[in-house]
Amino acid sequence: MSQGLKINDLRVSVAGNNILKGIDLTVERGRVHALMGPNGSGKSTLAFSLTGHPNYQIQSGSATLDGQDLLELAPDKRAKAGLFLSFQYPAAIPGVKVANFLYAARQSVHPGDLTPAKFRALLMEKLEALDMDPGFLGRYLNDGFSGGEKKRLEMLQLAVLAPKYAILDETDSGLDVDALRAVGDSVNGMRRSEEGKDTGFLIITHYPRILQHVKPDVVHVLIDGRIVKEGDAELAHRIEREGYDTLREEIGQLA
C-alpha cells in the first residue's frame, strides 16, 4: 500500500473562483510539514478541501491517504480513515460537555477499543501531559473559552484521537506567547508518545511563530494557489526576515 497523505495536481474552486491551481504535496507518517503563505493564498482552502467541506469544489487532481482515495469519502469517513483537522476558529457547542464529546469522537474513530474506565484513564493521562485542568471535562465544548483554551482543547482532541495525519490550520492564530508555547509543547509531546510518534503533521501558518516551537522537516510556500518553493526550516526563518514579497520577486525573475 502506498503510504502517506498524497496530493496530486489538486485544483479547487470556491464560489466559481479558482483558488488552488495544481497542488502537489506528500505528508509522510512521523514527519512535520509546514505550509506557509500570505493571506488569501489558498492555505485554508487546501485544509477544507481535504476534509470534505461542501463549499470547496474539486475541479481535478487527487488526494489519497495511505493509498485510499480520500476525495471519494464522506467527511466523517475521512476522519475515520485517520485524518484530523484543527480549525482556525473552533465552534462552540453549548450543552455538549467536553468529556462526552471526546468519548463520542474516540468511539467513532476507534469503536470499542477502550472501556469507559480506560478511556477516563487515558483522558487523565493526556490532561496531565498537556498541563490542563481536569475541570475542562465538565465544561461545554468551547462555550465561553478563551482563544488559548480553545486551542488547548484541540490539542487534547488530537492526543485522544491519535490520527494518522493531522492538519493544523493556523493553530497559532491569535495566541499569546504562553498559549503558543503550550500548543507547541502539546504537538511535541504527542510526537514523543507511543500513540502519536507516527502521526504526520501538516502545519498551516501565515507567520513562522509556531515553527519556533515545532521544528518542521519540510517547509512549503504557497502563493496564489501554487506551491512556489520548498525547503527546510531555514526557509521559514528567511520568510520571517524578508517576507513573502522577496519570494514573489525571485519567482518572477525565474519565470
Q: What pLDDT digit, counting tens, does each position of 10-38 carry?
A: 999 999 999 999 999 999 999 999 999 99
- Which pLDDT does position 254 carry in this prediction? 53
Cell (9 digits) for 122: 487515558
Cell (9 digits) for 239: 520568510
Angstrom distances, CA of residue 240 to CA of 20, 39, 104, 126, 244: 24, 15, 40, 33, 9
Q: If residue 18 lies in a helix (H) or strand (E), which one and from where to where? A: strand 17-27
Residue 255 has pLDDT above 50, yes or no: no
- Which pLDDT does position 223 carry in this prediction? 94
Predicted TM-score (pTM) of this structure: 0.91
Report the Cα 113 to chain-centroid distance in Å. 24
Residue 163 has pLDDT above 70, yes or no: yes
Of the ranges 54-58, 59-63, 194-198, 221-225, which one carries the lowest mean pLDDT score? 194-198
Residue 241 has pLDDT above 70, yes or no: yes
Residue 195 has pLDDT above 80, yes or no: no
The better pLDDT of the pair 125, 69 is held by: 69
pLDDT confidence bin for 164, thresholds 50/70/90: very high
Average of pLDDT values for 207-229? 93
- Which pLDDT does position 253 carry in this prediction? 55
CA atoms within 13 A on the CB side of 240: 13
pLDDT confidence bin for 219, thresholds 50/70/90: very high
Q: What is the pLDDT of residues 132-146, one digit of tens each?
A: 889 989 999 999 998
Say how far apart CA 233 and CA 33 lie, in whole Å. 10
Sketch out the chain's domains with CATH numbers.
5-89+165-254 (3.40.50.300)
DSSP line for 105-137: HHHHHSTTSS-HHHHHHHHHHHHHHTT--GGGG
Alpha-carbon torsion angle 91, 94, 95, 100, nearest 10: 30
- Which pLDDT does position 207 carry in this prediction? 83
Of the ranges 77-81, 119-123, 147-151, 160-164, which one carries the lowest mean pLDDT score? 147-151
Angstrom distances, CA of residue 172 to CA of 86, 226, 251: 11, 23, 27
The better pLDDT of the pair 184, 194 is held by: 184
According to DSSP, residue 211 is labeled G
Average of pLDDT values for 111-115? 89
Cell (9 digits) for 110: 476507534
